[in-house]
Structure formats: C-alpha cells, structure tokens
Chains A and B, each alone.
Chain A
Amino acid sequence: MTARFRPAEAVQSLEVDADVLLYRPDEIHRLTGSGVAIWRLLDRAPTREELVRALTEQHPDTASDALATEVHAFLDDLVGRELVATGPDEPPAARVSVPDHVAWTAPDGATVVVADLRTGERRSLSPTASSVWLAVVTGEPMDRVVARMREDYTDLPEDVEAQVGSLVAHLLDEGLLA
C-alpha cells in the first residue's frame, strides 16, 4: 500500500507572506521557497510520486530526478521532525472537491442543499448524507468521516464505511463532487 503524506495533527501552520510557519509544541519552523509549495500540496494527502508529479508541473524547467531527490529528502526531514504524518492509501472519495458548477449551502448547519448550476436542479440531502457532504468537502479523510458519523448516530449499520463510499461514488457519478 502506498504511503500518503499529510500535515501531522499536532502541527499548526500559517502562511506569512511568502513563507509558511509551522508550530508543534514547543517548536517553531519556517518553510520557504519550494518547501511552501510542497506544504500546500500536502493538503491533498499525496503520495511521493503524486507530489513529485505536481511539482514537476509547477517547475517544468527543473530536472525531474533532481526534483524527486529534493522532495524525498524534504519529506523525510519533515516526517523525522514529526511535522508530517504518513498513512496508508485512501480511496479517492476522501479527497473530493466541489466542482465549479455546483453550489451548496447548509442553512441550518446540518441539512445540505445542493444546486447543479448546469441544470438548475436543487436537492436537499438526507441528514446522513449531509454529514458526509460536510465532512468530505472540507478534506476530512474517510476514516475520520466514518468515526464522526459513529459519534453522531447510534444506529449506523456495520457496513457504514461501504455505504459512505457508495454515497460519495454516487455524488461523483452525478457530477456533484469531483
């Protein structure tokens, strides 16, 4: 299984002008230049290969081998400092986003209303689907989405992970998520 990289949970980060500051008790770190670009990409929980590919696209004039070496060393350093955590590969549904042609709102903070701007169709999601929507669109990993749902709902079926996966797949098929 391919490892994915994401900011460690205990780390706070803040962009200050062109730099990124990282804080974990009781240390402070500063990222500059390509370190900032790599840190931003970690929001997507990429693999090493995805990270190198994304950076290669950003810096087409840089030799990919050199870039890969730099990325690997940088990632290893961040992991060694416990600023970045690694985890197993996750299904794509954990990293979905809302496409430009979709608008959504949660007027009461719980029930999500989604509108497809291509067709004008609006629909209200069920409470469970709304929970899934609110979680996945903020980039929350699938395991945490499920864990949160288990906290919120006491009568969830055993195969809730599969059902969440099916729901997200359905939303992806309909073009409401991408």
Chain B
Amino acid sequence: MSATPARFDALGFRFELRRDEPALADEAERLLAGLLVPDGSGEPDEPGDRAAEGRQLTLTADPPERHDAALAALVGTINMAAIAAAAGRLLLHAGAVADSRGRAALLCGPSGSGKSTLTTLLTRRGLSYLTDETVCLDPGSLRLTPYRKPLSIKAGSAAVLPELTPADDLLHAGDFGEMWLVPAPALSAPEPPAVVFPDLVVFPTYAAGAGLTEEDLSAGEAAYLLGTNASHLGAVSGGPLPALARLARRARCVRLRFDDGPRAAARVAAMLESAA
C-alpha cells in the first residue's frame, strides 16, 4: 500500500480509512476501489461539496475473524453518508451504466427486481459501471454523478454471473447472508465518461416464465414510478416533481419483464444504443 492514505469519495462524502487493523483496512480499500479519489484530485465540487471533509472511518472486526461483517457495516455506513452528502439531489433507487458517449441507462426498481444483475450484465457488454443502487442526479440539469460502490450480488444471480461468485479471488467473499459484495474494478468495465446524462430508464421486473416483454411508459406514469423509487424527495432542490417530470420527459422510459438476464441485458443495451 502507498504511504499516502487512500482517499475515497461517495457522492461528495470524502473519507479515509483508519489503519488500526492493517489487514482489514487493506481488504476494505480493495472493496472500495471504485470510490478511490485519484492522486492529485482536488476537492469535490459536486454534489456533496457541503459534506464533511477529511473523515476517518474506523474499521473494527468483532470478533476479529469476522472481517465480512465489519466490511458490510462499513459499506452500509458509507451508503448512508453518501445519501446525506447528496442532499438536494434527485436520488433514485436504481442501478446505472453508461456508454462511451455519456448516455446512461437507469435500472430503477425495488430490491429484488434485478437491478444489480442487469447492471452487471450490461457492463459485460462494454458499458461503464456507474452504480448498482443509488443514482444521483442534479435536479436541474439531470447530470449524473457516479457512485461506484461495491456491487451487492445476490445468490440468485450466481447462475448468470458465475465469474463473480465468492470463489473468485477478486471478490470479498463474505458471509452476508444470501449476497456478497463485489468491488467495482472486478467488473473490468471501462471507466465512465466525465459527463453522463440519463437517456433511458428501465423499470425491470424479474419473473420466472415472463419471457421478455417491454412497454413504453407515459411521462406521467414514469415520473410517478421514479418518485416511488426515490429517496429524500422532500430535500430535492426546486421540489421533487419538476425534477421527476424532467427526467421522465428526457429519457425513454420502459417497463421490462424478463426471466432471462442476459437476454434482457442485450435488449436494454439495444434500447440505449437507439436512445436519442
């Protein structure tokens, strides 16, 4: 590890890790690699520029052999701090990927809808990983701020993501119940472009036997669905409804039911390719 402490950025929440337990800290730094601030990078100018700076997060495994629990707790703490730092932005419960032109596809839905699986499968198709859980948008411009947190992969996705199972050395194969955390670089996806805007919003639903069906949504229905999958709506600058409507009108919004992840990912990639 370098002598300079690694710095991380989660939607403007900047922090370092205390190295009281070096082995655990090394593991955490590997897990959080998607959030690393490059050396020489200045302070964040968005979105959480009013967030606390220079925080040092302490990692303690208790009992000592349970690094997995400590890391899971750390990721949970970072998620909460990131959302707090991004107050005022439009925060959606969604995964997101981007193409090389900065066009993003958002995969919006509740836990279990297939967001993380589709997000991961889309990175297999050459798209950049932006986030698997929290999409952060400027409510006025709709510019997207990546939040390249560790992906939460559920055991049910193992069949379509065999290379990302805990057997892989790249992963933190912790015991988090029926899921595990995957560092963003393990996806081997390209770095996202500097400027990203959403051009496609997909509301996925995984359902056995569903085949693959898609339905374009009206702006009104899409804005409503976005609102039901948003956090801290009351804090959105300018009010939540104009931001939701802006996004619903800008992006093509589609309801997608699927039972085959790779096939659904191929369809989403094609939709993004043809997005305006």
Report A's interface with B, CB cutoff 8 A: 12-14, 16-21, 23, 25-26, 28-30, 32
The 6 closest A-B pairs by CB, nearest first: A19-B220, A28-B227, A30-B224, A14-B241, A16-B220, A16-B245
A19 pairs with B227, CB closer than 8 A: no
Most B-side CB within 10 Å, residue of A28, A29, A30, A32: A28
B221 within 8 A of A: yes
Question: In the complex, what distance in Å separates the CA atom of A29 from the CA atom of B233?
Answer: 13
Contacting B219 at CB < 8 Å: which of A13, A17, A23? A17
Which parts of B227-276 form the interface with A (CB within 8 Å)? 227-228, 230, 232-234, 239-242, 244-245, 248-249
Query: How many whole Å from B53's CB to the nearest CB in chain A?
Result: 29
With contact pairs A18-B220, A21-B241, A23-B241 given, residues A28 and B248 touching in the complex (Cβ less than 8 Å)? no
B239 pairs with A16, CB closer than 8 A: no
Interface of A (DSSP majority class): strand
Question: In the complex, what distance in Å separates the CA atom of A32 from the CA atom of B220?
Answer: 9
B239 pairs with A12, CB closer than 8 A: yes
A19 pairs with B221, CB closer than 8 A: yes
B223 within 8 A of A: yes
B218 within 8 A of A: yes
With contact pairs A21-B241, A28-B240 given, residues A16 and B223 touching in the complex (Cβ less than 8 Å)? yes
- Which residue of chain B is the closest to A29 with respect to CB atoms? B224
Query: How many whole Å from B128's CB to the nearest CB in chain A?
Result: 30
By a CB distance below 8 angstroms, the chain B residues around A12 are 239-241
B234 pairs with A25, CB closer than 8 A: yes
Query: How many whole Å from B232's CB to the nearest CB in chain A?
Result: 8
Which parts of B178-236 form the interface with A (CB within 8 Å)? 218-221, 223-224, 227-228, 230, 232-234
Question: In the complex, what distance in Å separates the CA atom of A28 from the CA atom of B216?
Answer: 21
Kindly count the residue-residue contacts between A and B in the assembled complex, taking CB atoms under 8 Å apart. 57
A26 pairs with B233, CB closer than 8 A: yes
B224 pairs with A28, CB closer than 8 A: yes
19 A-B pairs within 8 Å (CB atoms) are namely A13-B241, A14-B241, A16-B219, A18-B218, A18-B220, A19-B221, A19-B224, A20-B220, A21-B223, A21-B224, A23-B240, A25-B233, A25-B234, A26-B234, A28-B224, A28-B228, A28-B233, A28-B240, A28-B244
Most A-side CB within 10 Å, residue of B220, B227, B232: B220
Instruction: Determine the interface band of chain B, counting residues with CB < 8 A from chain A.
Output: 20 to 34
Query: How many whole Å from A57's CB to the nearest CB in chain B?
Result: 25
By a CB distance below 8 angstroms, the chain A residues around B245 are 14, 16, 21
Most B-side CB within 10 Å, residue of A13, A16, A20, A23: A16
Question: In the complex, what distance in Å separates the CA atom of A14 from the CA atom of B234?
Answer: 15
A14 pairs with B233, CB closer than 8 A: no
Query: How many whole Å from A104's CB to the nearest CB in chain B?
Result: 29
Query: How many whole Å from A15's CB to the nearest CB in chain B?
Result: 8
B233 pairs with A23, CB closer than 8 A: yes
By a CB distance below 8 angstroms, the chain A residues around B218 are 17-19
B227 pairs with A23, CB closer than 8 A: yes
By a CB distance below 8 angstroms, the chain B residues around A30 are 220-221, 223-224
By a CB distance below 8 angstroms, the chain B residues around A20 are 220
B227 pairs with A16, CB closer than 8 A: no
Question: In the complex, what distance in Å separates the CA atom of A26 from the CA atom of B241?
Answer: 12
